Amino acid sequence: MARTTGSDGEKTEAAVREAAVNLIARQGYEAMSMRQLAAEVGVQAAALYRYFPTKEELLFTLMREHMEGLGAAWERARPADAEPRRRLSAYVRNHIAFHIERRHATHVSNMELRSLSPERLTHILRLRTAYEKELRAILRDGADSGAFSIDDVGLTAMALIQMMTGVIVWFRPDERLSIAEVTATYLSMTMRLVGAKVESTEERHVHEHAQLRA
């Protein structure tokens, strides 16, 4: 056989990406074979090389697009307002929403960094650092203006990101808590963690609704 009826390059490439994200998230990059990925897509392994020159390039593409998507999402979500509490609130909401929606891709981007060549690793880390820098700026502004009470800005930023991204490890959309409830609780924890002095009306409203369990 050769070309199959109804075959379409764009559809196949999209199917490869999706299957790859799921397989790598579940088994790990090294444990996923190109043959297994091809079988998942319903194609022979050789066909994959029409879309990605190597296995690592496939991994890199998935990671790069995920990180670029995260940055782009924050660009859209970033409030014009300069008020630190509102900016931090927007950052937390965007971060959690983005990562819950893309659990598998996040897993891949966080766990498979060591499978990248040095140059590609640097590329991904640069994207990540730029995104984290935004959080540090918010924390610093808030600390300077007295809106937050923070011991160490860099350390607090890492702690917050670690805490928020950790959601994808245990969160399952069909269980006890909804995305909105989880987000509200994490917002509340974040604000306390940075020692946010006074809350805006909007946020106090959210916190009240976050009293899920006494």
How far, in Å, CA of 157 to CA of 210, rounded?
23
Q: Which residues, at least 6 apart from 59, have a Cβ–Cβ distance to it below 8 Å?
A: 20, 24, 29, 108, 112, 115, 116
User: Is residue 179 part of the contact set for its own copies (CB under 8 A)?
Assistant: no
CA 194-146-212 angle, 5° bins: 35
Task: Report if residue 4 touches DNA, rule: CB under 7 A.
Answer: yes
Contact between 149 and 193 under an 8 Å Cβ cutoff? The reply is: no
Q: Is residue 6 within the footprint of DNA (CB under 7 A)?
A: yes
The piece of 45-53, 67-75, 92-100, 198-206 that touches DNA (CB under 7 A) is: 45-53
- Taking the least distance from each CB to DNA, the nearer of 46 and 155 is 46
Binders of its own copies among residues 25 to 44 (CB under 8 A) are 26-28, 30-31
Beta carbon of residue 170, minimum distance to its own copies (angstroms, whole number): 5
Contact of residue 7 among DNA, its own copies, none (CB under 5-8 Å per partner type): DNA
Considering only the stretches 15-23, 72-80, 116-124, 189-197, report the one whose residues sit in contact with its own copies under the rule CB under 8 A: 189-197
Q: Does 44 bind DNA (CB under 7 A)?
A: yes
Binder of its own copies out of 89, 106, 109, 115 (CB under 8 A): 115
| Type of residue found at 133 | K
Q: Which amino acid makes up residue 20? A: A
**Identity of the residue, 100 or 189, whose beta carbon is nearer to its own copies in the bound complex:** 189
Q: Which residues contact 105 (CB under 8 A, 6 or more apart)?
A: 21, 25, 62, 66
160 contacts 136 by C-beta, under 8 angstroms:
no
Please choose, out of 58-66, 75-83, 89-97, 148-156, the segment that lies near its own copies by the rule CB under 8 A: 148-156
Q: b vs e for 168-187, b when ≥16 Cβ sit within 10 Å of the residue's Cβ?
A: beeeeeeeeeeeeebbbbbb
Distance of CA 179 to the CA centre of its chain: 15
Note the residues at the interface with DNA (CB under 7 A): 1-10, 12, 32-36, 38, 42-50, 53-56
Note the residues at the interface with its own copies (CB under 8 A): 26-28, 30-31, 111, 114-115, 143, 151-153, 155-156, 158-163, 165-166, 169-170, 177, 182, 185-186, 188-189, 192-193, 195, 210-214
